[in-house]
Every structure is written in C-alpha cells, then in structure tokens.
Structure 1
Amino acid sequence: MPLMQNWARRRVLGGLGLTCGAALAPWQQAALAAITPRQRIIIDNDLGGDPDGLFQLAHHLASPSVEIALIVGSHLHEKEPFDGSAQQAQHAAERAQELAGLMRLDHVPPIVAGREKALGPDRAGWTSPASQRIVAEALKADSHRPLFYAAGASLTELAAAHRLDPRIGKLLKLAWIGGMEHPELNPGVPARTDPEYNTTIDITAARYIFNESDIEIWQVPRDTYRRVLISHAELEQGLAPAGRLGAFLLAQVDRIGTLAGGAGLNIGETYILGDSPLVTLTALQSSFEADSSSSDYVVKPTPSIDDKGAYVPGSGGRPMRVYRSIDTRLTFADMFAKLARSKAAA
C-alpha cells in the first residue's frame, strides 16, 4: 500500500485519545493554554543543509513552553554538497518560511537570513542585519524569562552580534551543537583528531565565542550529538500521524539518502537528528527547579580553540556545560506527539 494511504489509516494519538487533526476537547485546550513560555529562544541553523535542523525547528515551533523570538537561516561551507550556491543563508530562511507555512502557525516568528559566508579574520564587515536583530532581541527587557541562543551550525551571527555589542554576553546562554570531543570525558575511547563539521563552517566565529566572549556555553559535542540516533522505521511510524508535515520531514531524510547514494555512500537505516538536543535543553526542561535534568552533563572551564578547531591544552576560562548524553526517549516521544497534533496533521 502506498505510504500516504497507509498513513491516512493511522489517526489516533495514543494515550491522549485524540483524533489526528481534529479539534481538541475543551479540557485539552485548557491544559495546553495553561502552558506558557518560560524561555525566549533565538534559533540559528543551516536549514538548507542536513535536515536535522528542520526537525529541530518544527519541534521548537510546536513547543508552548518557549517563545521563538527570532529564526536565523545560516550558511554552510562554500560549495557544500547540500547547497553549493552563494545563497545558502537565504535558502535556509526560505526553508524556515516553508516549514512555518506548512505547520499553519497562528504566529510566525521573524525569520532573517544571515551572512552568506564565514567571518573574515581581519574582522572587517562583521556586522549584518541578522546580527543587529540578535542584539536588539538580547537587549529587550525581559528579566523573568531567560534567553537561549539555540545554534545547530556555525556561530557566525552570534560572534558578529557580540562584537557589535558585548553587553549581550551576560544576557543570553548559547546552546550549541558542535565542537570536538573532550577526550578526558571518555577515557579509553580512541580520540578523534579530525575537525568537527559545525566548527569548520566558521572557525573564526567559533574561536571568537570560545576564546574572547563572555557567553555561557551549553555544548553538545560531536560524540554526544552523534548518539541522537533514530531508525528509519521509527521515523516512518512516528511521523505517520503528522500528515503533510510528517511526509515533508521524512522526504527530507530520504532526499539525503538518495544524494548520498549518488555519491557512492550507503547511509543505512538510521539517521542522526543531531540538532534535536536544542529542544531538549530548552523547551523540555524539568517542571520544578527548571533545568535540563534528564540529560547528563559536566561543568568544566571553557577551553580555547585553535585555528584547526581543536581545544588548546591547559587553557580554561569561564564555566561551561558539556553534555555527555541526551535524553532521546523524552526528545523523540515529545517530538512525535507534538507534530501529530499540529494543524498540518489534518
């Protein structure tokens, strides 16, 4: 049976007893209305590249405990296989608009495109419209709700924004998917020495944030985000009740499989949704004493980064969190439940 016909038969939202796409009962509407934002979020991701960012964005947009203040579409490496054009950031912003339209949101957050290339080491021309918007958001008076900068790719725009107005360093926390492993946290595991992908998109920006800024960092390094792994069978089943939205997201994963196959790479039957921890660490914090209590982390001095993306031995500065594991059960179960009740599931 064709996949979409099969999906049409799966319309019940598990334990909630909800018909997919149907209006919520009054008690359900009241329960959702009681959940109000606890954090403000600026999302920055390369949404024209690896589709894990689209899953993260959809999940964040469906989460009532956060207010999405701004979405920044960011660039990739030059001549990237995902998008080899010179308009990568613009394409990322367009993908965000497409996803928001598909979800039929009552309110679409502001969406802007960032710079189209990495920052220059001479620091000339760093300021951009996106970095100016970030500064404006950070300086808004909102002492009751912390501001998180949720970045799933490069740190280009955040570095530019901090240099434009360093006051923002004390006004937000950076949750970042990126950076190499910390060998001391995994003794006995062979250390990788190759640079990490998101770091290398803009090494100048990463070095600025780690080495020179005063921004508190919640880091999900490579060995941790690579374990946010889900099977294709789980994606098929979990996205089925999400209708058009589920079909769209699954198609993005299948597109990458086809692209990889054309290059002679068989990616198997799993996919890394490596940007999803951005939702876990912000929207899915614990109820009392709000924190990312279900995911394991250590606090250590923020290291410096060299021009290859590696940590500088012996360096250390302000405290940072390094997440050693992410609660994938909470992350994936919540994502599938929220996407299933979205308007796009009708």
Structure 2
Amino acid sequence: MALTIATRTRVVIDNDWAGDPDGLVALAHHLLSPGHRVDAITSSLLSPVFAPAPGSAAAGALLASQLVELVGGPHRPPVLAGSEHPFQDGGNPSAAADAIVGAARADDELPLVVVCGGPLTNVAAALEQDPGIASRMSLAWVGGSLTGAAEYNRDTDPAAAARVLATPGLQVRQFPLETYRQCAWSVAQIEDLLTSVGPVGDWLWQRFVELPLPEGFEVDAVWPLGDSCPLIGTALSAESSTWQPGEHETVQVCTRIDGALLFGDMVALLRRHARRSTARGGASAT
C-alpha cells in the first residue's frame, strides 16, 4: 500500500534550459516530485558568451518540452519561451512573463513559488508587467554570491537581478554560488546514475555529451548540480539546511544545503520512474 505524499506548493520553473544540463536534471526531479505541483515551465536566455545570436530561450523551451513528454504522466505543464534580450525598464513582454503573472494571479489554495535557476529576466519582466504579484508569490533563486564574486546567473542579466531582489514584499530564498557549489557530483557519478534510469536518464546524459564544447576541450571531473537546490524548499523540507538573512529584509540565503536529502530523493524518484516505465512498457509511464 503506497503512502500519499502531501502536495504543499505549486511552482513555475524558470531556467536557461539550453545551457548547463544541470537545469534539465533538476527539471526531471521537479516533474517527478509529489511534494509540489508544476504549473508551468518558462525558458530564459543564455549569456551572449554562449549564445551569440537570439534564439536561446526558444531552444531551451524545445528541450524542456521534450523532457516533459519523456517524463510523461497525466499532468504535463505548458512550456513557454521568454525574452531573447536582457531586462530593460518597461519590461520584456513574453509568453513566459505572461505565464508567471497568470500563475500568481490564479486563485489556488496552494502557495506559488517561482523557481529560477538562471538569469532573472522573465521574473523581472513579470514583476514589471504586474507589480501586484509580488505579494502573491515567492521566489527561489539559484544565483548571486555572498562575496560579490563573478556569478553566471546574476551577471547574465544584472539589471533583472537588481530589479527582482529589491522588490518590496517579495519573499526570496536565495541559493548563491557558495551554496550551489556544495551540490558537486563527479562526472562519473552523473553518468552512472543517468545511464541506469531508463530513457529519461539516457536523454539527460546525452545533453551532457552533446554540449557544444570546443574540439579538444577537457571538462573538470566535478560538475555541480546546483539548479536542484530549490527543491529543498518546494518539494521537500528546508528545515535541515542552514539559512541567514540576505542583503534585503525579505531575502533568506541558504548557506548550507542538505545534499543527502536533496539528491537521495532525486535518485529514488528517477529509479522509481524507470521501474514503473519498464513495468508498463513505455518511457512515459509514471
């Protein structure tokens, strides 16, 4: 007899899905987690360093859509592309910003958490479009640095980060560079897991293998899976991690994350999905 897990939050998941594949690994975890409900998935742009021409948000939306179909199940959230340009005053109208506003304005007994594992472009655009949603949602963001060090998610769109983190009334849980680097796995560990959990894992591993790296480029032996951090507060429990006040009074910063809980849950859910898929004869069974 199976236990029924309480669904305590609903989430909109925003990320630059065309970039580091750890975002897609986190997305699979989100989609499989019974502790929250995924209402929408939105895609943000990559840094111009990695995407010299517009189109990275759309490319990311395509990847996220493919993963949603692979995971399958009766509830398949919509995937919407965001702006292909950094935030500017007046906002960046997009389907992604519309989705965030719509989810925040929806009447629902579950609280909304917007989970962002990339630049805050789409979140800033949504807040610019409707400032009133700040009190109807909270944000979990993987980004920034406690020491002011260079950090990709913040630095890809610093204007968006400044706009969002200074929003009055917006409750934020932040997972900075120093924290998400605690989520380090060896590349061998990632390959071993993903190639053992069926078609979803095989697809995810291909995203690592097919990264457009320069010929002869050698990756480090360690790869942080930092975009998984927000699941601690949405699908699981934040109590066993360590927190401190942030620069703004509405920001709480995670300084130590319970990786055993976070990744133990991820591994168990991926393995369970693979077993059920095999038993039912299809990759999309859940």
- TM-score with structure 1 length normalisation? 0.75
Q: Which runs of 4+ in 1 moved over 4 A?
A: none
- For residue 15 of structure 2, what is the aligned residue in structure 1? 45
Structure 1 stretches lacking a partner, 5+ long = 1-26, 183-192, 286-291, 303-317
Give 3-state SS (helix, strand or coil) of 1:67's partner: strand
- For residue 62 of structure 2, what is the aligned residue in structure 1? 94
- For residue 68 of structure 1, what is the aligned residue in structure 2? 38
Q: Deviations over 1:207-236 (max 9, x none)?
A: 111234431111111111112101123223
- For residue 319 of structure 1, what is the aligned residue in structure 2? 250
- For residue 57 of structure 1, what is the aligned residue in structure 2? 27
Give 3-state SS (helix, strand or coil) of 1:342's partner: helix
What is the letter of the counterpart of residue 224 of structure 2?
A: I
C-alpha distance in 1, partners of 2:250/2:167? 14
Contact 1:239 1:340 in 2 (8 A): no
Q: Deviations over 1:2-22 (max 9, x none)?
A: xxxxxxxxxxxxxxxxxxxxx
CA shift, 1:73, in A, is: 0.9
CA shift, 1:336, in A, is: 1.2
Root mean square deviation of aligned Cα = 1.9
- For residue 175 of structure 1, what is the aligned residue in structure 2? 140
Contact 2:8 2:234 in 1 (8 A): no
Q: Deviations over 1:167-222 (max 9, x none)?
A: 1111111100000224xxxxxxxxxx543110111111111112344311111111
Give 3-state SS (helix, strand or coil) of 1:322's partner: strand
C-alpha distance in 2, partners of 1:197/1:276? 16
- For residue 283 of structure 2, what is the aligned residue in structure 1? none
Greater Cα radius of gyration, structure 1 or 2: 1
- TM-score with structure 2 length normalisation? 0.90
C-alpha distance in 2, partners of 1:233/1:111? 31
Query: Does the alignment pair 1:336 with 2:267?
Result: yes
What is the letter of the counterpart of residue 54 of structure 1?
A: L
Percentage identity across paired residues of the two chains: 35
The aligned length equals: 277
Task: Please point out which of 113, 116, 127 is paired with 2:93.
Answer: 127
- For residue 213 of structure 2, what is the aligned residue in structure 1? 259
Structure 2 stretches lacking a partner, 5+ long = 279-286
Contact 2:44 2:60 in 1 (8 A): yes
Give 3-state SS (helix, strand or coil) of 2:213's partner: helix
CA shift, 1:301, in A, is: 4.2
Give 3-state SS (helix, strand or coil) of 2:234's partner: coil
Contact 1:148 1:175 in 2 (8 A): yes
C-alpha distance in 2, partners of 1:42/1:125? 19
